[in-house]
Structure 1
């Protein structure tokens, strides 16, 4: 009888580790990676909608109905916005591909003009390296834009199940939580509930705050580009706002396309655009972000940089996006385990 209890405890203790290991293993297979990514999108969106769902179903009644109405309203609004903005995005994307081709020719012209400097081997070597790298980068970016649009079209069927998954996460969150607690040893279930509650609270705040910050950056970028009459302001603003989700590196990556397009239009405009984009990032980093995020993301900058580098090596762009929230979760786990168990 004692052996049976011990075996049950061992099984319950190893269940979470087996589950985590299985998810990590499956992530390395392309098919399961795509499926996991779809569920990950649904998970993020459900966290974003969770506060609204809780506010409209406070008494617990009609929880499923509220979840259904909320999901239907939210995704109907998204479809409406996509139908309205998609032609603009496609048109600006096609124009950017054309602009990249112009940039490629411009670099080739510069390279041909530098032929007169053949006498200086060092200068010639530097020029050849810069021009070839720039040309390769421009070709790659053009191909990436086209491939991204094609991939989004092919993946539309996969993404169509996201609203269904979001609905079930919102409607059955308590049931899902109970099922997860059954995987934990009874001796540690109370501790697990406390830790999960802390992680749930922090993740919810983090996701909503990142959405607000990225939206602010996108809006301010659009205003700056529109004021200086830079081409493709909407698409470039979306790119800058999207990449802002990655700390430190994201703002630099997101600003490069806008600066390149401005450089093609005017040498004076590119200086003003670069200055204003820098000011936007400084305002966001020093004033807006601390006010919105508060102290719940309390990680040292060196730790954040290390997490981003590791995340990039492990999971590419998605890894860089998930690096900081993963670090925050590990920090919560460390602090809560120390508090509750030691």
Structure 2
């Protein structure tokens, strides 16, 4: 009997200890969230540029110099992006705000009048509810767009003003990218010698999957954004740059993102000065078809090999927990979890849970 009581006390103590450790870990994550976010961003950049550093190292260039060259090129590209593209997008966004408050409002009123005529013919009351809903949201829309414009502008200024954070991020990327193999080796040494080969294999698989997904996705989304911008520009669609930018950014969110990106373009095309809505919709369909059958298989392949439902769920969870950064890292983290689950728990079983 005393022995049984002793076991129960030990089990209770373990549960209490685990609970307090969980609370402590949660507190640390919340407290250190800015530093953790900075480290995650650095790791994402490292995965993007590490193949270029490895290529230079293979050409007999010392790792320190190779990392410096690639980091400087990356810095130049980021600076060029902010200097050339962001001001143009912000300017176009400001014009869009004024456009919604004038031309777009008039177009919607014309559409509502047409719906009212159909209601009178078929004796429906659909237009009353629709008109109330549209006018309520339409009055708020310019305010929301203006608020978003202010946030985007202040975000750009914040990035520039936090120069020390940016420099810290660059140095972190620089040292991580040249010592990536050493970091993996040191991590492996934390475990007993018997597990070194196994852990090294898992790290290589994760490295390949996550790296391929991040690099492929950046290139894929950039191509989608550029193709959308060019297509809309050729048919004379106003605000083609900002619509292309939105299409590229939202393309990160698989399945849902492209649909969300299409909606504002189709709505804006309803105005008299815009191209035919069907033509605008055709541009988006063509670009997404190219993405589905050419870009995704070529650039992503089966990098993560996750089910569509899993992808949607983890994107929602990631967005809820960490916002935009959570959406970006949700799929690579889930792919990592899948590798670990398969290697240590599901190996040899015909199961595919994710």
Q: How far does the alpha carbon of each residue in 1:253-308 deviate from its partner, in whole angstroms, 9 at most, with x for none?
A: 22333333333354652221112102211221133312322223222222222322
Task: Please tell me whether the aligned partners of residues 111 and 127 of structure 1 are also in contact (alpha carbons under 8 angstroms).
Answer: no
Range with greater deviation from structure 2 (331-340 or 103-112): 103-112
Range with greater deviation from structure 2 (318-327 or 190-199): 318-327
Matches of 1:215 and 1:112, distance apart in 2: 37
Question: Which residue of the partner structure matches residue 205 of structure 1?
Answer: 212
Matches of 1:112 and 1:223, distance apart in 2: 32
TM alignment of 1:134-213, pairs within 5 A: 134-156=138-160, 157=162, 158-213=165-220
Matches of 2:48 and 2:272, distance apart in 1: 39
Question: Which residue of the partner structure matches residue 67 of structure 1?
Answer: 67
Q: CA deviation at 1:186?
A: 4.7
1:303 correspondence with 2:310: yes
Q: How far does the alpha carbon of each residue in 1:4-32 deviate from its partner, in whole angstroms, 9 at most, with x for none?
A: xxxxxxxxxxxxxx89x84x644435xx4
Matches of 1:78 and 1:267, distance apart in 2: 33
Residues 286/131 of structure 1: CA separation in 2 closer, same or farther (3 Å cut): farther
Question: Which residue of the partner structure matches residue 42 of structure 1?
Answer: 42
Q: CA deviation at 1:217?
A: 0.4
Question: Which residue of the partner structure matches residue 137 of structure 2?
Answer: 133
Question: Which residue of the partner structure matches residue 227 of structure 2?
Answer: 220
Matches of 1:129 and 1:148, distance apart in 2: 28
Residues 102/28 of structure 1: CA separation in 2 closer, same or farther (3 Å cut): farther
Task: Please tell me whether the aligned partners of residues 57 and 66 of structure 1 are also in contact (alpha carbons under 8 angstroms).
Answer: yes
Range with greater deviation from structure 2 (320-329 or 32-41): 32-41
Question: Which residue of the partner structure matches residue 268 of structure 2?
Answer: 261
Residues 262/105 of structure 1: CA separation in 2 closer, same or farther (3 Å cut): closer
Task: Please tell me whether the aligned partners of residues 108 and 131 of structure 1 are also in contact (alpha carbons under 8 angstroms).
Answer: no
**Rg comparison, structure with higher value:** 2
Q: So what's the TM-score if we normalise by structure 2?
A: 0.78
RMSD (Å) for aligned C-alpha atoms: 3.4
Task: Please tell me whether the aligned partners of residues 259 and 270 of structure 1 are also in contact (alpha carbons under 8 angstroms).
Answer: yes
For these two proteins, the number of residue pairs brought into alignment is 323
Task: Please tell me whether the aligned partners of residues 107 and 135 of structure 1 are also in contact (alpha carbons under 8 angstroms).
Answer: no
Task: Please tell me whether the aligned partners of residues 315 and 330 of structure 2 are also in contact (alpha carbons under 8 angstroms).
Answer: yes
Q: How far does the alpha carbon of each residue in 1:87-134 deviate from its partner, in whole angstroms, 9 at most, with x for none?
A: 322321221222233367448856996999999876423321233234
Task: Please tell me whether the aligned partners of residues 104 and 135 of structure 1 are also in contact (alpha carbons under 8 angstroms).
Answer: no
Task: Please tell me whether the aligned partners of residues 107 and 131 of structure 1 are also in contact (alpha carbons under 8 angstroms).
Answer: no
Task: Please tell me whether the aligned partners of residues 107 and 272 of structure 2 are also in contact (alpha carbons under 8 angstroms).
Answer: no
Q: CA deviation at 1:34?
A: 3.3
Task: Please tell me whether the aligned partners of residues 206 and 293 of structure 1 are also in contact (alpha carbons under 8 angstroms).
Answer: yes
Matches of 1:61 and 1:38, distance apart in 2: 28
Task: Please tell me whether the aligned partners of residues 244 and 250 of structure 1 are also in contact (alpha carbons under 8 angstroms).
Answer: yes
